[in-house]
Chains A and B, each alone.
Chain A
Amino acid sequence: TQLLEQSPQFLSIQEGENLTVYCNSSSVFSSLQWYRQEPGEGPVLLVTVVTGGEVKKLKRLTFQFGDARKDSSLHITAAQPGDTGLYLCAGDFGNEKLTFGTGTRLTIIP
């Protein structure tokens, strides 16, 4: 069974600070998606990373795929209250479905 562990589970920081959340697996995944879920809504796709070592930027968000394709990180610069939400990674382990991580619940304090 492939597992995706996300850390930290909870994170609460002040507006303007930087943060990094992690997604780790013991197995290699073909690709990895990051989603953000806000209260009362379903997850919304932020990015898909496919190539080991790949880095993608989405405004203040930087996503990195580990060289061995077993881990990924999401770095947010100068966090804003609008970044508050549940961040989920989802890995494709080549078994025709996505496996979601446990999630990081992020709260940005104004």
Chain B
Amino acid sequence: KAGVTQTPRYLIKTRGQQVTLSCSPISGHRSVSWYQQTPGQGLQFLFEYFSETQRNKGNFPGRFSGRQFSNSRSEMNVSTLELGDSALYLCASSSQGTKNIQYFGAGTRLSVL
């Protein structure tokens, strides 16, 4: 069974640009969650999608958005990038939700210059 796949693995953008990250969950998993990981703040919850609906949201500005498609694949978008958005963005899939076992992808490393 294939694991969680995140693309791309690395991204370099400049301030003010926007970026879209992609996550393909484990087959059959309907919940996809996104996290931001930085050395200073650790791993912080962005949002969770379940069956194409955002079910839960963390404390991030509206520049961070996401969506989920009917095949459970999910995308995360960050608009008007800021230097502080440089981080490792992790996606996790689960059969039921964030409190069940989550399977993480390897992440997308975003650098904002």
Contact = CB atoms under 8 A, between A and B. Distances in A.
A88 interface: yes
Contacts of B98: 96-98
A100 B56 contact: no
24 contacts: A31-B99, A41-B107, A42-B4, A43-B43, A43-B104, A44-B104, A45-B102, A48-B101, A88-B42, A92-B99, A96-B55, A96-B56, A96-B99, A97-B33, A97-B48, A98-B45, A98-B99, A99-B45, A100-B35, A100-B42, A101-B42, A102-B42, A103-B42, A103-B43
> Which of B4, B43, B58, B92 has the most CB atoms of chain A within a 10 A radius of its CB?
B43
Contacts of A99: 45
A9 B94 CA distance: 28
B44 interface: yes
Contacts of A45: 101-103
B106 interface: yes
A110 interface: no
Contacts of A92: 99
A43 B58 CA distance: 19
B25 interface: no
Interface string A25-40: 0000001000000001
Interface residues of B, number: 23
A48 B98 CA distance: 13
Contacts of A40: 106
Contact of B106 (A41, A97, A98, A100): A41
B66 interface: no
Interface of A: 31, 40-45, 48, 88, 92, 96-103
Contacts of A103: 42-43
Interface string B1-42: 000100000000000000000000000000001010000001
Contacts of A44: 104
Contacts of B48: 97
Nearest to B99: A92
Contacts of A97: 33, 45, 48, 56, 58, 98-99
Interface string B89-113: 0101000011101111111000000
